[in-house]
Amino acid sequence: MKDRAFIRRTLIELLEADTGEKHSDLDESVNLREGLGLDSVDVVSIVSQIERRFHIRLTHQELEKLVTVADVLDLLQVKLTDTSSSQSAAA
């Protein structure tokens, strides 16, 4: 199972690749748009990379609720827990 630290490192890696800036000490309370300077295109780009990396799908309703870094991490933790438990149940 992927823990929060792993998800956070992956998110930082994707953010750095997308923005070209270092985010090594990313605070979870940072606002994605104002704090990180992401526009809607950046957010969509990062979300699509997250979906590919973790093999998950995020709904439009889930994306609308993402305001801070913590929101992203919380959502991914829930989605990845659901995915791993449904995959192990199917095995």
Q: Which residues pair with 68 in a beta bridge?
A: 31
pLDDT of residue 86: 65
Contact residues for 49 (Cβ-Cβ < 8 A; gap 6+): 14, 17, 18
What is the mean predicted confidence (pLDDT) over 35-54?
90
Rounded to two decimals, the pTM is 0.85
Choosing among 1.10.1200.10, 3.30.70.270, 3.40.1080.20, 3.90.220.20, the CATH entry for 4-90 is: 1.10.1200.10
Q: Which two tokens stand for residue 64?
A: 């609308």
